[in-house]
Chain A
Amino acid sequence: MRYALVLALVASPALAGPQEAIENHILPNLTAFTEAAGALDDVAQANCEADALKGPYNAAFDAWMRIADIRLGPSEQGVLTISFWPDTKGHTQRTLKRLIEAEDPVVENQKDFAEISVAARGFFALERMLYDEDYSDYGEASYACALTRAMTHDLAQQAAALENAWREDFVPVILNPGVEGNTTYLDETEVVRAIYTQVMSSLEVTADTRLGRPLGEPTRPRPSRAEAWRSERSLANTMIVTQSAYDLAVELADWELPETAAAMEQVHAAAEKIEDPGFQNIDDLSSRFDLEILQQAIDGVENALEAELGVRLGIQPGFNSTDGD
């Protein structure tokens, strides 16, 4: 007994960070997303019209953004099938058009629907159906209604499957590094680095992609590249995902992060100045400036975390999925 106790004492402080990050942050947020996606689908099956769905759609999207940038384990693929963005080649409009013109019967079978292009699944396909005037004016008996229902049902199923895959398959792997047969994580440092990489790449993606893509060049802003601009969620997505990255870092750290907390306050202050939640006014120089300030504030959180968490842990972020082009 005494021997086991000593082992436990030695092992637990090192694992406190990852365990808290997963049990206090990732898993509860996965559950909340499952519930919100289920609620959206319940409403859609009763009434598929766009105006009826906007409320629960936004609630589900809010819940998703809390875990949208976690690309570990089952989320590596799940992220792409739930929120396919950026869509640099216009896949979503092309795929939806093809489905609707052909009245493709794939919407009648959820199993088949789960096999179609990710461009017609998840939040960004739904956004077109609910907010793009070329699509949103559909009635109960239409093909578009059936398509929308297939999308919400697919999303609810994906949410439940993702949560289940984490709880059943992945948590035992990530919380038991170094045990026999675990080739994914050989020791606790690898787990800490993996979670730290999620935090840092989320902040990087938000500054460089969520804000950087619409900002474009000073002389050539690109408002239509803002994330979820049709539903005017660009600012909300930015803020939720940034807050969530911070919350995850707080769970991972076993100490206070005062500079990071101060940097987060700067993010909130900068966000309050943003007038258009869909970033469609950035042709205007002063509005553009406000968005640049927000971008710099998010960079500030990343820098503070690197110093307060990364340097102190003695780790660097690993490779992330946006390392390519």
Chain B
Amino acid sequence: MKRTTLTASALILAAVPAFAATKGEVLTTYADIAHAGYEDSLTTAQTLNEAVDALIANPSEETLAAAREAWVAAREPYQQTEVYRFGNAIVDDWEGKVNAWPLDEGLIDYTENQEPTDENPFATLNVIANPNPTVGGIEIDASTIDASLIGEEINEIDGIESNVARGYHAVEFLLWGQDLNGTEAGAGERPYTDFVEGEDCTGGNCDRRVDYLEAAMDLLIADLEEMVGYWAEGGEAREAVMEDEDAGITAILTGMGSLSYGEQAGERMRLGLLLNDPEEEHDCFSDNTHRSHYNDGLGVQNVYLGSYTRVDGSTVEGPSLSDLVAESNADLDAEMKSKLDTTMGAMTALSDAAEGGMAVDQMLAPGNEEGEKLMMDAINGLVDQTATIERIVADLGLSAIDFEGSDSLDNPDAVFQ
């Protein structure tokens, strides 16, 4: 045995990566990427707001197209931040205001083929057309549409989550309208005249629609400002992550795994495929779902590798979870990197196909085998990478993936009450 000792030590030394990352440094990188991501989300939302103002001041094909383009650009950085959601209670509590989905858009404006359901009697309330809607026997004063009405009173009205009145998808619906093309080509086709006040108004109540869009944008920007602050130096979310290093590392892995598996592979992609329902795509009005999926996947990879490319092309990077795993188990780190690459390869193929003319809603069409394969490859990649995330949790000796807490561990006496 003694003879091999030197060789063995040399091997171990060789395996130690250049970065000997501490948990604290890894968490700092994680928080820095969050801050940069939300900051990019805010600046692109401000650009969107300017485009929306231009649309309202002078509704035309061009100003509507510019606003839509700005919305798509604003989604790029935001979707990369979704990986922060499930591991950080502050983000998860806030997220519903900004990115709630799916929504019963008939709550907001005119729709076709919608009706109230078991779940939601208000699925066709249409606040824009209805200044005095009645909910649960109580009449609501919706005569003035402003941030307080849609943010406080209408959003999640009657406690129903699909009553989404604010956030990116509400704005998306106002800019595009319902996508009535089913699983055929084409996104929502709302005419710019829906924003023309006076005689040429289409869709009715253009003045109220304009008020709605302005209020929804005000809320979105205020919400993003709030989240940028939470991740700044001394901000609540940053402090929460740094407070207990093991819990912070667990938060990173929880966010990666929950987004990959339950949320993205399951709720958003597999279920959409199985429902064959064109509305079961994350950005269903704009047909921008492929970018949503791609950027969600990229966000997971970003936090693992500790590197984020900002909208201006600069990079935020530092000691990473990958460095930490590599120190403990180099093979496991290689496995994680390889699986993230596989997923991103599948996401790139899916995104390219969509940009090339096969939107995600078309991929969901029954019998579209090529589309189904593109979706399934991405789903399988996500499921597969989740298994490796679980291995990392075990390898690092971390406990409790469930960030809501575990009764028996938090409070052993509670178990046998």
Contact check, B415 vs A303: say whether CB atoms are below 8 A apart. yes
A86 partner residues in chain B, CB cutoff 8 A: 119
Is A323 an interface residue, CB under 8 A from the partner? Answer: yes
Is B139 an interface residue, CB under 8 A from the partner? Answer: no
In angstroms, Cα B413 to Cα A307, docked, is 11
Contact check, A116 vs B276: say whether CB atoms are below 8 A apart. yes
Task: State which residues 151-173 of B face A: CB under 8 Å.
Answer: 158-159, 161-162
Residue in A117, A299, A319 with the greatest tally of chain B CB atoms within 10 Å: A319
Contact check, A321 vs B119: say whether CB atoms are below 8 A apart. no
Is A149 an interface residue, CB under 8 A from the partner? Answer: no
Which of these, B118, B120, B261, B394, contacts A321 with CB under 8 Å?
B261
Residue in A closest to B268 when the chains form the complex, CB atoms: A324
A304 partner residues in chain B, CB cutoff 8 A: 415-416
B262 partner residues in chain A, CB cutoff 8 A: 319-324
Residue in A closest to B393 when the chains form the complex, CB atoms: A316
B402 partner residues in chain A, CB cutoff 8 A: 316-317
Task: State which residues 245-278 of B face A: CB under 8 Å.
Answer: 257-264, 266-267, 270-271, 274-277
Question: Known contacts A217-B159, A303-B408; is A225 also within 8 Å of B274 by CB?
Answer: no
Contact check, A306 vs B119: say whether CB atoms are below 8 A apart. no
What are 26 inter-chain pairs, A to B, with CB distance below 8 A?
A: A76-B383, A77-B274, A80-B274, A88-B102, A89-B104, A90-B119, A91-B275, A91-B277, A93-B118, A94-B115, A117-B276, A184-B387, A193-B390, A224-B118, A224-B119, A303-B414, A303-B416, A304-B416, A306-B406, A307-B408, A307-B415, A316-B399, A318-B401, A319-B389, A319-B401, A321-B261
Contact check, B86 vs A323: say whether CB atoms are below 8 A apart. yes
Give chain B nearest CB distance to A192 CB in angstroms: 12
Which of these, B120, B267, B279, contacts A324 with CB under 8 Å?
B267
In angstroms, Cα B257 to Cα A89, docked, is 26
A-B CB proximity, top 7 nearest: A90-B117, A324-B263, A323-B262, A324-B262, A323-B258, A118-B274, A115-B366
In angstroms, Cα B394 to Cα A140, docked, is 58
Give chain A nearest CB distance to B129 CB in angstroms: 21
In angstroms, Cα B387 to Cα A72, docked, is 12
Contact check, B102 vs A319: say whether CB atoms are below 8 A apart. no
Is A325 an interface residue, CB under 8 A from the partner? Answer: yes
Task: State which residues 181-231 of A face B: CB under 8 Å.
Answer: 184, 186, 189-190, 193, 216-217, 220, 224-225
A88 partner residues in chain B, CB cutoff 8 A: 102, 119, 161-162
In angstroms, Cα B409 to Cα A307, docked, is 9
Which of these, B257, B367, B399, B415, contacts A323 with CB under 8 Å?
B257
Give chain B nearest CB distance to A81 CB in angstroms: 6
Give chain A nearest CB distance to B363 CB in angstroms: 14
Task: State which residues 56-113 of B face A: CB under 8 Å.
Answer: 86, 102, 104, 113
Is A250 an interface residue, CB under 8 A from the partner? Answer: no
A324 partner residues in chain B, CB cutoff 8 A: 86, 258-259, 261-264, 266-267
B414 partner residues in chain A, CB cutoff 8 A: 303
A311 partner residues in chain B, CB cutoff 8 A: 408
B267 partner residues in chain A, CB cutoff 8 A: 324-325
In angstroms, Cα B113 to Cα A93, docked, is 12
Residue in B closest to A213 when the chains form the complex, CB atoms: B119
A81 partner residues in chain B, CB cutoff 8 A: 274
Which of these, A90, A217, A303, A319, contacts B407 with CB under 8 Å?
A303
Contact check, B118 vs A225: say whether CB atoms are below 8 A apart. yes
Residue in B closest to A259 when the chains form the complex, CB atoms: B416
Is A119 an interface residue, CB under 8 A from the partner? Answer: yes
Contact check, A319 vs B257: say whether CB atoms are below 8 A apart. yes
13 A-B pairs besides A90-B123, A115-B367, A319-B260 with CB distance below 8 A are: A80-B271, A116-B276, A117-B277, A118-B271, A217-B159, A220-B159, A225-B118, A303-B415, A303-B416, A304-B416, A306-B408, A316-B401, A319-B389
Is A275 an interface residue, CB under 8 A from the partner? Answer: no
In angstroms, Cα B267 to Cα A286, docked, is 35
In angstroms, Cα B260 to Cα A307, docked, is 28
Is A265 an interface residue, CB under 8 A from the partner? Answer: no
Contact check, A117 vs B390: say whether CB atoms are below 8 A apart. no
Q: Tell me the A residues contacting B by CB distance below 8 Å.
A: 76-77, 80-81, 84, 86-91, 93-95, 112, 115-119, 184, 186, 189-190, 193, 216-217, 220, 224-225, 259, 299-300, 302-304, 306-307, 310-311, 316-325
In angstroms, Cα B383 to Cα A320, docked, is 11
Give chain B nearest CB distance to A115 CB in angstroms: 4
Task: State which residues 101-145 of B face A: CB under 8 Å.
Answer: 102, 104, 113, 115, 117-120, 123
Residue in B120, B275, B366 with the greatest tally of chain A CB atoms within 10 Å: B275
In angstroms, Cα B274 to Cα A233, docked, is 25
In angstroms, Cα B117 to Cα A224, docked, is 10
Is B386 an interface residue, CB under 8 A from the partner? Answer: yes
B15 partner residues in chain A, CB cutoff 8 A: none
Residue in B119, B162, B264, B267 with the greatest tally of chain A CB atoms within 10 Å: B119
In angstroms, Cα B414 to Cα A304, docked, is 10
- Chain B 376-417 per-residue mask, 1 if CB under 8 angstroms from chain A, else 0: 000000010011011101100001111000111000101111
Which of these, B162, B263, B406, B412, contacts A89 with CB under 8 Å?
B162
Contact check, A306 vs B117: say whether CB atoms are below 8 A apart. no
A317 partner residues in chain B, CB cutoff 8 A: 401-402
B161 partner residues in chain A, CB cutoff 8 A: 88, 325
Contact check, A117 vs B275: say whether CB atoms are below 8 A apart. yes
Residue in A112, A225, A311, A324 with the greatest tally of chain B CB atoms within 10 Å: A324
Residue in A closest to B364 when the chains form the complex, CB atoms: A117
Residue in B161, B386, B406, B415 with the greatest tally of chain A CB atoms within 10 Å: B415
Question: Known contacts A119-B277, A303-B414; is A90 also within 8 Å of B399 by CB?
Answer: no
In angstroms, Cα B118 to Cα A93, docked, is 9
Question: Known contacts A115-B367, A116-B276, A303-B407; is A87 also within 8 Å of B390 by CB?
Answer: no
In angstroms, Cα B402 to Cα A184, docked, is 22
In angstroms, Cα B117 to Cα A89, docked, is 7
A316 partner residues in chain B, CB cutoff 8 A: 393, 399-402, 406
In angstroms, Cα B412 to Cα A259, docked, is 14
Contact check, A90 vs B257: say whether CB atoms are below 8 A apart. no
Contact check, A318 vs B390: say whether CB atoms are below 8 A apart. yes
Which of these, A118, A303, A307, A322, contacts B275 with CB under 8 Å?
A118
Give chain B nearest CB distance to A273 CB in angstroms: 19
Give chain B nearest CB distance to A296 CB in angstroms: 10
Residue in A closest to B408 when the chains form the complex, CB atoms: A306
In angstroms, Cα B129 to Cα A205, docked, is 39
